[in-house]
Structure 1
Amino acid sequence: MSIEKRLSDLGITLPDASAPAANYVPFVQVGNTLYVSGQISRTDDALILGVLGDDMSVEDGAAAARTCGLQLLAQVKAACGGDINRLKRVVKLTGFVNSTKEFTDQPKVINGCSDFLVEALGDAGRHARSAVSAGALPLGVAVEIEGIFEIS
C-alpha cells in the first residue's frame, strides 16, 4: 500500500511544509539520506506551548510530539518533490522536550511521534531514537523533533 493511501485511510492530511524561521534550510539530502531540521509542536492555528512537569501532562506532550511527526513527514514530502512514496524508512529521530529538571518521562512524550510514524508507515516507521530534556525550546514550544530518513 502506498504511503499516501495509508495516510488517507487513517484520515491524515499532511500540513504544508513550513519555511525555515532563520538562516538554515528545512532539509538536506546527501545521497539517499534526508536530514530534516527540527520541527516544532504546532497545529495549523497555533504553537503548542508548555513545560512538561509543570503545566503540561505527558499525554498532552505526546499529542504535541505527534504534530512534530506530521511536520516531519510534510518536510519529507516536500524534499521528495511532493511524492511521499519515495520515503523508504525512518532512520533516526532526536526529540527535545521542554521540561523541568525533575521531569524524567521524555521517552513517553516522544512516543507520540514514534507511535504516529509506525501507525502511518508500518515497519518503515520503526527507527532509532533519542529523547532528551531541554530547559527551553524556541518560542516556548513543548516539543521539537528532528529526523533522518532514507528515500529513493
Structure 2
Amino acid sequence: MVTAEERVLELGLSIPDYANPPYGKRYGPMKPFHRIGNLLELSGLTPENRAGDRLNPGIVGVDVTIEEGYAAARLTAIHTLGMIRYAIGSLDNVKSLSRALCFVVAPPGFELLHEVSNGASDLFLDVFGDEIGSVGRASIGSTTLSRNNCFELWLSLECHPEPGE
C-alpha cells in the first residue's frame, strides 16, 4: 500500500513549508491550526504562495474561468497539505479527512461552485485515496475574499494519536 507521503512524491507535488517563515504574517494575528485530541482544524488557506503571489485572483464566472478556479482550488489543497505537515508532522498521520468548507468568489446566481471545489477534493483523493481522502464538503458562494483570492478552504480532519496518547 502506497502512503500519502509516497503518493506526493509520485505526483511530483511541491508542498510549501509553513514552519519557515511562520504562518500568518500577511493577514495579522491568527492561529494556523487547532488540535483537540485527534481532531485537527485548519485555518483558511488560499491559492496564494508563501511570497504572496496569487493564482487566478478575481471572480469565478467573470474574471476567472471554472477551469482556472479548479486550478486555484487544487493549489489551495496542496497548500493545505503543507499546513497538515506543519501541524502533525507527516501526511501519513492523517486518519481521515472530515469536512471541507469551500468558499468560491462568484456572482449572484452562479451555480457551478462544486466544479471549482472539485479541484481540492480531487487532489485529496489523488494523495490519500478514497478511504482517507473522501471528505464531506460544502461549496459556498462569496462576494469577496481577502486579497481578491477566488477560493478559500477550511479543512477539518482526524489524525492518528500523538505518541504517548
TM value normalised by structure 1: 0.94
> Who is 2:163 aligned against?
none
Q: Distance in 2 between matches of 1:146 and 1:22?
A: 18
* 1:7 paired to 2:14: no
* Per-residue deviation, 1:88: 1.1
Q: SS in structure 2 opposite 1:94?
A: strand
> Who is 1:22 aligned against?
28
* Per-residue deviation, 1:44: 5.5
| Matching of residues 63-74 of structure 1 within 5 Å | 63-74=71-82
> Which of 1 and 2 has greater Rg?
2
> Who is 2:138 aligned against?
130
> Who is 2:86 aligned against?
78
Q: Choose which of 47, 67, 85 in structure 2 pairs with 1:59.
A: 67
* 1:141 paired to 2:149: yes
The superposition leaves residues 56-104 of structure 1 with CA deviations (integer Å, 9 ceiling, x where unpaired) of 1100000000111011111111001x32211111111000001111311
Structure with greater strand percent: 1
Q: Is 1:61–1:142's contact at 8 Å kept on the other side of the alignment?
A: yes
> Who is 2:40 aligned against?
34
Q: Is 1:66–1:113's contact at 8 Å kept on the other side of the alignment?
A: yes
Q: SS in structure 1 opposite 2:100?
A: strand
Q: Distance in 2 between matches of 1:54 and 1:13?
A: 29
* Per-residue deviation, 1:42: 2.1
Q: Choose which of 83, 90, 113 in structure 2 pairs with 1:106.
A: 113
Q: SS in structure 1 opposite 2:144?
A: coil
Letter in 2 for 1:132: I
Q: Which runs of 5+ in 1 are unaligned?
A: none
Q: Is 2:73–2:151's contact at 8 Å kept on the other side of the alignment?
A: yes
Q: Is 1:53–1:102's contact at 8 Å kept on the other side of the alignment?
A: no
Q: Distance in 2 between matches of 1:62 and 1:42?
A: 14
Identity %: 27
Q: Which runs of 5+ in 2 are unaligned?
A: 161-165
